[in-house]
Chains A and B, each alone.
Chain A
Amino acid sequence: MLKKSNKYLIVAILIGMVFHGTSIFFTLETTYDALIHLFFADHYANNWFEPWNYKWYTGFSIMSYPPLVHQAIAFLSMLGGMKFGLFCVALISILLFITGVYRFSLLITANKTVAGYASILAVFSSSFVETLHLFGQLPSIIGISILMHALPEIYSWLKTGRYYHLLSSLSLIAVTVCSHHVTSFFGMVFFIFPLIGMTIMDTSKDKVGSIKLVTFKIFFNTFLSLFKRILGFGLLFVTVILGSILPYWINSKNNPITQVPIPHGSRDNFLEITSSGLVFFLIPWGILLILLPYLFYRYYSKRYLFFGLSFTLLTILGTGGTTPIPKFILGDTAFNILTLDRFTLWASIMALPLFGEFAYRFVEGDLKTLMQSTFGAIYHRAIGGILAGLFIFMTIFSMSLGYFRPSQPQKIKMLPIVNFLNQDQHDQWRYLTLGFGDQMAWLSAQTNALTVDGNYHSARRLPELTTRAIERLENSKFKGVEGIGSLQQFLTVPKKYNLKYIFSNDKFYDPILYFCGWQRLRQLENGVQVWERLNIPPISSILPKEEVAKWQKILWGIVPFLMIIIAFVFNVQLPWLRALKGKAKGAPEYLSFKSNHASFPKGILRLSHIWSISLALTVFYGLYAFYLQNDSQRTPENVVLAYYDAIDVKAFEKAYRLIDPNRELSIAQYMLEISVTDGLLSSYAKLEDIKTSIAKKNDSVATAKVTTQWITPLEKIKKIDYKSLLKHKGKWYVQPEALDTDLPPDQLYSDNSTTYYNQGRRRITSEQTLHEDVLKQPVLEILSSKLVKYDNHYAIVGEIQNIDNAPADVVLKGTLYNDNDTKLASYDAKYHMKHKLMPKEVSSFRIDFEGIAWSQTKDSIPKTFNPDEFTPVSFNEQPTKFNLQAAGNVSVFDLYKKVTLSAIDIGRTAIKGTLYNSGIEEVTIPQILITYYDENKTMLWVDHLFLKEGIRQQRKQYFKYDLLENNAIRIINSDMSNCFVNGLPNKDIANKIVHNRIENHTNSQLQKIEHSNYSFIKIEINNYIGNPN
């Protein structure tokens, strides 16, 4: 194509391939998207023509994402594995991007040197670096690169009307749309429309001889003369977009995205949420921000006018929620679905040709002359140094952002998990990962087992997921109470999804797993903890799927590669053959529209100076404000904030430095004190919000009222602390908290207890478990149960006893019916019961019916999730009957029962008491179950309290429980005829074992309380042990 090799382009390609080609091996796998693409690729590698994927979200159609990049990875993986494919495609994308920028720049500037400059700058452009190395958006990069390759061809077609160019451009557009659909239709608006404008402008110029003479009339006439070509191209363009990924459009029409939008950083107000501003505005723009005056000046010159408009629009749209304009332009729906960072990416790419032009003029053109003549050579060099320095800084900064602020957990070795799933038919159940980040996609690619979760949120199908703004269950802790709320619905009713195994890479989730009735199985060699739930049936061997027509499957499987071949023939092979035959091809038309770089306008230079100085001032002011806010000991508020932040991220050394030095507390002592505190708050809480008000203050002493909100896996905790603060040598310090001084009387304790072991399959065989190795399900007895209404919600409360001789894991499932025996809701017992019962042990229980429990999920889910809020039911569907299914399975874990109630003080509104841990395990999270009775000792309600602190061995812990308010509880039905144990009628099976039960045996031991609605309570204790010995 080129008569003479462009040395700048060659340099750009060489540097680009070496720079990006080596670094992708360290960055790509930790990006947000790369592993998701790998998962899709794995699907194609195994079933090229089958669009249904069972592995995620209980099945979804991969026709919901354009296939080309995934198919390319899958194709290459046949040579050297999935990751080989991924890296090859990444290398190709780098090559395509650099050459694409070159061709686009050549089209815009008509100057090979300038285009060469632009291609070199493109290699290091921070937006490209970010998109590739931080986001891993390969389809997006390939899409925009191919689009840039297509632009010169479109121009040539419009200008010359040669059909060759039309076909060539359409073939490239087809490849674009097959790799990224969004790029192609927004590319049409933002790149192709202005290009058409520019072409008309150029043609008009040809007519009248000078761009200055082009008037609107001439422009309009030219437009009419070119109208046929434009229209022809437009129609074919639309046909290509629709045709090449037709199954995608059909799928989108059939499965419209009806989910709650997921918040995305690019829609934030960048001034408020500065981290989003950094990632989605500052980094992609980078040094281009300084050049904005020049970019606007150039793009608003007559020839580029339409690019100028497009560039302005992209710039504005890229600002996300900072101004209301993007929302106004896009409309609510599009604003909430699109991620707006792509606009900034496109704007920065659109700026590249002019960036190249600027660099050219600065380094060897008229700008150099102007600056040297105005300010002198030294100044010019200094500015050059500063600009180059900033440019390099931005590149290194974006490149290493993933290193300093890891977006992903540490790389997890997947092999032990893959092996676990393959062993012993564990893949017959669904699994869930917790705390894996985007690596869950890589696990899914490697195993045949299915998960309820997934990593492509547009394809979510379960209402539990689509009605909440969480993208994955996997990282639900980052989504606050709503995320945890969604997760716990899956954990409470796992049977519905055949969910049996959970791989937890984050101990944060451990308490919620325990209290939802899960048990620890073992820790794999990569440190991942496996949790299991008993009484879950395996997945049925035939799963539902949405079938699509055969022609769609064939189209989907063949068209993308066919398009590549066609594009290859038009854009590489034919020019190559022509070159071999020695037929010289005329220079492309756009090369004749060179810009005049003779004299750089002084006004722009001045404006750029003013702009740069104001930009620099803003940056310095921002840094200063940041310093003031973060100087941890300047004000009492700052020291409190810094102290809590340090505690939250477990930076105890930093916290120690904020402690009053007069206290003579050594760091060793402080660390020791920290190490013995365990519990919900100190081990499993994430600080969400902190408000400090300084209550009393003189110049050296202050008391701060610190109101903190903590997200824990179990509940949201609001805590009010009073902190004493002291000023010492101009710095504020925090007073340390007093330590519990309690000393147990003995040094060495001994304890006897019965331990259990269930060996499962006695013979080592891959066959199904022999019937004689299956333990009998422990017999349970439902002692009482009733359907009650409390405030606006319904619950089943009661008591259950393990009447067998083996410890039991108890699963309780309640179902509500109306008068017509129509099933209304079904849910399992969650926190309000002891899930593990020793022989003859009793537990009170309460089954709540939450969100997804109701048959009509859509109407009933509240807008905001609150763990203590429940869904009211519509009035004509009152639950009146209930069915209760209890299932026992022998459990050998979590049988620690040694926490006792050692003191209690009954108040009118609250109960204060002391728990004493009489055993030899440290209890991390004690839970108290409080059962309420009326004056006839009839059970009415069950409530719970999680203690925020743990209890060490042989020590006490104090608690305060606020009694329920005066809300009347109405018993709706206490008919126990529909209670079943292990599938058998409760009454029959109980009578067989305990034929002469002493009814209400321990009623004499209920605690009397002073309350208008309740007369007695019963207190039971359940314990979660974080680190069993």
Chain B
Amino acid sequence: MAIKHTYLSLLILLFLSSTTIVDTPNEIKCITTQKTFEAGEFIELLFSTTQNTFPGLYCSHTYGSTIITPIFKNNVLYYEIPSNIGNKAGIIHWKLLESPLYGQFTITPKTNVTTLETYIGPPSIAAGGSDFSMMVVIPTDALDNPLKDGTQVNIKHQFLSSEENNEILTEHLISYKNIYSKKETGRILITSECLNEHSKEYDINVLAAIPTNFSISAKRHHVYADGNQVTTFVTSILKDEFDNVVNDGTFVDFFITNEVGNILKTNGSTIKGIATATMIHPDHKSRWTIKAFVNGMAESNVITLDYTQVITDFDVAVSKDNNMLIIGPLQSFMKQMIPDGLQVTLSIYKENIHIYTSTKGSRLGFAHFNLKDLALKKGNYNFNIKTAGLEKTLQFTKL
């Protein structure tokens, strides 16, 4: 309590007297004249005193504040600054308690580098010269203090055949360099050096910029609309404006406009710049107009494909026992049976009112509908059969 009271009265005294320290009676004097120390060094503040009091030394620095108790020897007070304060570069303010003495000294970082704290990002940038990645290097000493401003850092990078070295001075404790992409894609390897200390290797991937227009082509086994074979669409090699092949996986949309203006869609992702998409053949005569897009960035030329009708006609018959509706044979362009799975749709109307629809795939050139299962009531029916873009109707009487 005594200390607190003394301290308070001292503060009031200080507050009231606007006079300088020199005017007050002075038995304690600071005899340490050194104003800068190196981090990690043994630091001691010495005060000569004629009194028998041992006031604490109030120290304030970036990590916080503390009070140091002195060792008294031969009328000198020795205040040893603890290492947790002394290891950290920066300014230390001190104030001797029970006395008007105060002051400050500076701790400077060591002059040799132990680690280069390095940050780089983003790890991938676009080719073309406008995108960049930033390398930040903070040379630090053994006690993790950033070196003083103006320390020279060399940032070196290699790209294709060029190797560059940039000399940069640290400012506000850090040094940084923006590394711009070139027109080519590839990998930039980067390292840094400071006072003979070398960092590890860092890299930036330079990826292709956005694609430019391209062309497409189609490949198919035959021109027939059999609803079974597959047409393949292929793009030319997609490149950006700097002639770099776009990255693998670039998504290309293929829009197919058919003869009635409806739009079909397929897509492909590029591999080595080429996107491949496939589409199953239509099952009836069609004209396809195809155009591919990389949305908002690039588009292709327009190509047109014609598909020839394969089924010209088909028979519809009812089995003898009236239990089965048989459609077929469904024959393709060489009179071969159409490959299995051609869609055949049967719609049944009674007095022009739709009562039933069923869709079946053909098998071995025929499609069968079991009429017994339908359990139709007695009467007259209209059967409407649709397949391969063709349509037929049949009168049917249930007895």
**Count of chain A residues with a beta carbon within 8 Å of a chain B beta carbon:** 63
Contact mask A339-380 → B, CB, 8 Å, 1/0?
000000000000000000000000000000000000000000
> Which of B122, B131, B374 contacts A724, CB < 8 Å?
B374
Q: Is B82 an interface residue (CB 8 A)?
A: no
Decide: B280 and A918 in contact? CB cutoff 8 A.
Answer: yes
Decide: B121 and A903 in contact? CB cutoff 8 A.
Answer: no
Decide: A916 and B280 in contact? CB cutoff 8 A.
Answer: yes
Decide: B249 and A839 in contact? CB cutoff 8 A.
Answer: yes
Q: Is A2 an interface residue (CB 8 A)?
A: no
Alpha-carbon distance between A776 and B208 when the two chains are bound, in angstroms: 16
Q: Is A619 an interface residue (CB 8 A)?
A: no
Decide: B360 and A738 in contact? CB cutoff 8 A.
Answer: yes
Please tell me which stretch of B21-29, B87-95, B250-258 contacts chain A, meaning at least 4 of its Cβ atoms lie within 8 angstroms of it. Answer: B250-258
Decide: A839 and B121 in contact? CB cutoff 8 A.
Answer: no
Decide: A752 and B121 in contact? CB cutoff 8 A.
Answer: no
- How many A-B pairs have beta carbons closer than 8 Å: the answer is 168
Chain B, Cβ-Cβ closest to A911: B262
Please tell me which stretch of A93-101, A404-412, A998-1006 contacts chain B, meaning at least 4 of its Cβ atoms lie within 8 angstroms of it. Answer: A998-1006
> Which of B250, B251, B360 contacts A897, CB < 8 Å?
B251
Q: Is A295 an interface residue (CB 8 A)?
A: no
Q: Is A536 an interface residue (CB 8 A)?
A: no
> Which of A696, A698, A840, A997 contacts B251, CB < 8 Å?
A840
* B334-386 residues at the A interface, CB under 8 angstroms: 339-341, 343, 359-363, 370, 372-375, 377
Decide: B251 and A900 in contact? CB cutoff 8 A.
Answer: no
Please tell me which stretch of B64-72, B145-153, B271-279 contacts chain A, meaning at least 4 of its Cβ atoms lie within 8 angstroms of it. Answer: B271-279
Q: A742-B340, A775-B123, A918-B266 are in contact. Are A900 and B279 (CB under 8 A)?
A: yes
Please tell me which stretch of B157-165, B171-179, B292-300 contacts chain A, meaning at least 4 of its Cβ atoms lie within 8 angstroms of it. Answer: B292-300
> Which of B253, B264, B267, B269 contacts A904, CB < 8 Å?
B264
Decide: B122 and A900 in contact? CB cutoff 8 A.
Answer: no
Q: Is A740 an interface residue (CB 8 A)?
A: yes
Chain B, Cβ-Cβ closest to A724: B373
Decide: B261 and A1019 in contact? CB cutoff 8 A.
Answer: no
Q: Is A741 an interface residue (CB 8 A)?
A: yes
Decide: A918 and B377 in contact? CB cutoff 8 A.
Answer: no
Alpha-carbon distance between A735 and B375 when the two chains are bound, in angstroms: 13
Decide: B293 and A805 in contact? CB cutoff 8 A.
Answer: no
Alpha-carbon distance between A902 and B267 when the two chains are bound, in angstroms: 12
Q: A741-B363, A801-B296, A842-B295 are in contact. Are A900 and B340 (CB under 8 A)?
A: no
Q: Name the A residues within 8 Å of B295 (CB-CB).
A: 801, 840-842, 1001-1002
Q: Is B282 an interface residue (CB 8 A)?
A: yes
Q: A904-B264, A993-B210 are in contact. Are A753 and B271 (CB under 8 A)?
A: yes
Alpha-carbon distance between A657 and B269 when the two chains are bound, in angstroms: 48
Decide: B279 and A902 in contact? CB cutoff 8 A.
Answer: yes
CB distance from A720 to the nearest CB of B (A): 13
Q: Is A772 an interface residue (CB 8 A)?
A: yes
Q: Name the B residues within 8 Å of A838 (CB-CB).
A: 249-251, 269
Q: Name the B residues within 8 Å of A992 (CB-CB).
A: 130-131
Alpha-carbon distance between A993 and B375 when the two chains are bound, in angstroms: 66
Decide: B374 and A1006 in contact? CB cutoff 8 A.
Answer: no
Q: Name the A residues within 8 Å of B375 (CB-CB).
A: 696-698, 701-703, 724
Decide: A840 and B280 in contact? CB cutoff 8 A.
Answer: no
Decide: A776 and B262 in contact? CB cutoff 8 A.
Answer: no
Decide: A1008 and B261 in contact? CB cutoff 8 A.
Answer: yes
Q: Name the A residues within 8 Å of B123 (CB-CB).
A: 772, 775-776
CB distance from B279 to the nearest CB of A (A): 6
Alpha-carbon distance between A1005 and B264 when the two chains are bound, in angstroms: 9
* B100-157 residues at the A interface, CB under 8 angstroms: 119-124, 126, 130-131
Alpha-carbon distance between A772 and B123 when the two chains are bound, in angstroms: 7
Q: Name the B residues within 8 Å of A533 (CB-CB).
A: none
CB distance from A540 to the nearest CB of B (A): 25
The interface centre, meaning the residue of A702, A839, A841, A1007 with most chain B CB atoms within 10 A of its CB, is A839
* B229-253 residues at the A interface, CB under 8 angstroms: 229-230, 247-253
Chain A, Cβ-Cβ closest to B267: A897
Contact mask A399-417 → B, CB, 8 Å, 1/0?
0000000000000000000
Decide: A902 and B124 in contact? CB cutoff 8 A.
Answer: no
Alpha-carbon distance between A735 and B124 when the two chains are bound, in angstroms: 61
Q: Name the A residues within 8 Å of B252 (CB-CB).
A: 840
Q: Is B202 an interface residue (CB 8 A)?
A: yes
Chain A, Cβ-Cβ closest to B211: A840
Q: Name the A residues within 8 Å of B253 (CB-CB).
A: 842, 1002
Decide: B269 and A701 in contact? CB cutoff 8 A.
Answer: no
Decide: A803 and B210 in contact? CB cutoff 8 A.
Answer: yes
Q: Name the B residues within 8 Å of A918 (CB-CB).
A: 230, 266, 277-280
Q: Is B8 an interface residue (CB 8 A)?
A: no
Decide: A900 and B296 in contact? CB cutoff 8 A.
Answer: no
CB distance from B258 to the nearest CB of A (A): 8
Contact mask A727-739 → B, CB, 8 Å, 1/0?
0000000010010
Q: Name the B residues within 8 Å of A905 (CB-CB).
A: 262
Chain A, Cβ-Cβ closest to B369: A738
Decide: B264 and A701 in contact? CB cutoff 8 A.
Answer: no
Alpha-carbon distance between A594 and B266 when the two chains are bound, in angstroms: 92
Q: Name the A residues within 8 Å of B267 (CB-CB).
A: 897-898, 900
Contact mask A675-702 → B, CB, 8 Å, 1/0?
0000000000000000000001110011
* B186-227 residues at the A interface, CB under 8 angstroms: 202, 207-208, 210-211
Alpha-carbon distance between A775 and B304 when the two chains are bound, in angstroms: 42
Q: Is B228 an interface residue (CB 8 A)?
A: yes
Q: Name the B residues within 8 Å of A1008 (CB-CB).
A: 261
* A762-805 residues at the B interface, CB under 8 angstroms: 771-772, 775-776, 783, 801, 803, 805
Q: Is B291 an interface residue (CB 8 A)?
A: yes
Decide: A900 and B266 in contact? CB cutoff 8 A.
Answer: yes
Q: Is A329 an interface residue (CB 8 A)?
A: no
Q: Is A807 an interface residue (CB 8 A)?
A: yes
CB distance from A735 to the nearest CB of B (A): 6
* B295-316 residues at the A interface, CB under 8 angstroms: 295-297, 299
CB distance from B299 to the nearest CB of A (A): 7
Q: Is A901 an interface residue (CB 8 A)?
A: yes
Q: Is A388 an interface residue (CB 8 A)?
A: no
Q: Name the B residues within 8 Å of A801 (CB-CB).
A: 295-296
Decide: B373 and A701 in contact? CB cutoff 8 A.
Answer: yes
Q: A776-B121, A900-B266 are in contact. Are A840 and B297 (CB under 8 A)?
A: yes
Decide: B297 and A839 in contact? CB cutoff 8 A.
Answer: no
Decide: B124 and A805 in contact? CB cutoff 8 A.
Answer: yes
Q: Is B263 an interface residue (CB 8 A)?
A: yes
Q: Is B392 an interface residue (CB 8 A)?
A: no
CB distance from A534 to the nearest CB of B (A): 18
Decide: B361 and A742 in contact? CB cutoff 8 A.
Answer: yes
Chain A, Cβ-Cβ closest to B361: A741
Q: Name the B residues within 8 Å of A1002 (CB-CB).
A: 253, 255, 293, 295
Alpha-carbon distance between A696 and B370 when the two chains are bound, in angstroms: 16
Decide: A752 and B265 in contact? CB cutoff 8 A.
Answer: no
* B316-345 residues at the A interface, CB under 8 angstroms: 339-341, 343
CB distance from A385 to the nearest CB of B (A): 55
Q: Name the A residues within 8 Å of B372 (CB-CB).
A: 701
Q: Is A383 an interface residue (CB 8 A)?
A: no
> Which of B202, B261, B269 contacts A753, CB < 8 Å?
B269
Binding site for B on A (CB under 8 A): 696-698, 701-703, 724, 735, 738, 740-745, 752-754, 756, 771-772, 775-776, 783, 801, 803, 805-807, 837-842, 897-898, 900-906, 916, 918, 954, 956, 958, 992-994, 997-999, 1001-1002, 1005-1008, 1019, 1021
A-B contact pairs, 25 of them (CB 8 A): A741-B360, A745-B228, A745-B230, A754-B248, A756-B249, A771-B121, A772-B123, A772-B202, A775-B123, A776-B123, A806-B249, A807-B249, A838-B251, A839-B247, A839-B250, A839-B251, A840-B297, A900-B265, A900-B277, A900-B278, A918-B278, A1001-B297, A1006-B263, A1008-B261, A1021-B265
Give 15 A-B pairs besides A840-B297, A1001-B293 with Cβ atoms closer than 8 angstroms: A701-B375, A703-B373, A741-B360, A741-B362, A754-B269, A801-B296, A805-B247, A805-B250, A837-B251, A842-B295, A900-B267, A900-B277, A993-B210, A1001-B299, A1008-B261
